[in-house]
Amino acid sequence: MTVTTQTLDPHTVIDPAILYFGTPVVLLTSVNPDGSSNIMPMSSAFWLGHTGVLGIGARSQTAANLQRNPDCVLNLPSVELVTEVDRLALTTGRRDVPPAKAGRGYAYEPDKFARAGLTALPSDTVAAARIAECPVNLEAHVVDSHPVGDGALMFEVHVDRVHVHEAIRMPGTDHRIDPDRWRPLIMSFQHFYGLGDRVHPSRLASIDEEFYR
């Protein structure tokens, strides 16, 4: 590839405060000291195989819970659940709301399920509750964590069990999710979006999904 100084560069150098270009929202449930489940809306998340990587503020109730008890569930809301998700914004399960958060309008909420209008279901393999309304529940446990950036922790979790609503299963298959039916809620630069339709045939999709197992 030739790089020529004569090419007009269509970019402008900027210094954005955040680099949240768009990732799925996760409602992460973890176990409070009294055994109840906390819900944290978060979106700094991705998956590699059955490993999930989660970026979580160190001062959150969720970070404290996960350091005490590795059990969690990654509940994935569909775009239809945006109202419920937004009800959880600016809340924390921490009674002593950190001053920096209080200054940004955060308030203590001990019962996130009631606050959001969501229903708790017991999990099979972990003590954290699943969320009935979310089409995907990934039961998981923390395998590693380390500090990342300024005041955050990166948790590596292993997904032990996957529950899905029948509506997003690919017809005629046992273990596949149909991406045409799965409508994730996306957060991009603090705003909520959905996905559009499929835009192009995918050459990568010529690989059988089972190859990745």
Ligand X SMILES: Cc1cc2nc3c(=O)[nH]c(=O)nc-3n(C[C@H](O)[C@H](O)[C@H](O)COP(=O)(O)O)c2cc1C
Looking up tokens 């489940």 gives 37
Give the contact letters, 125-144, x = binds to ligand X (CB under 6 A), - = no.
--------------------
- 39 with 73: CB under 8 angstroms? no
Kindly state the number of chain residues that form the binding site for ligand X, as judged by CB under 6 A: 20
Angle subtended at Cα 14 by Cα 12 and Cα 18, rounded to the nearest 5 degrees: 135
The correct pick among 25, 66, 72, 126 for binding ligand X (CB under 6 A) is 25
24 binds ligand X (CB under 6 A): no
Specify which residues 120 forms β-bridges with: 131
- 135 with 169: CB under 8 angstroms? no
Select from 3-11, 66-74, 90-98, 113-121 the region that touches ligand X (CB under 6 A): 90-98
Give the contact letters, 50-89, x = binds to ligand X (CB under 6 A), - = no.
-----xxx--xxx----------------------x---x
d(CA 82, CA 185): 7
Nearer to ligand X, 99 or 201 (CB): 99
Q: How far apart are the first and last CA of the chain?
A: 36
Binding residues for ligand X, per CB under 6 A?
Answer: 25, 38, 40-44, 55-57, 60-62, 85, 89, 92-94, 106, 187
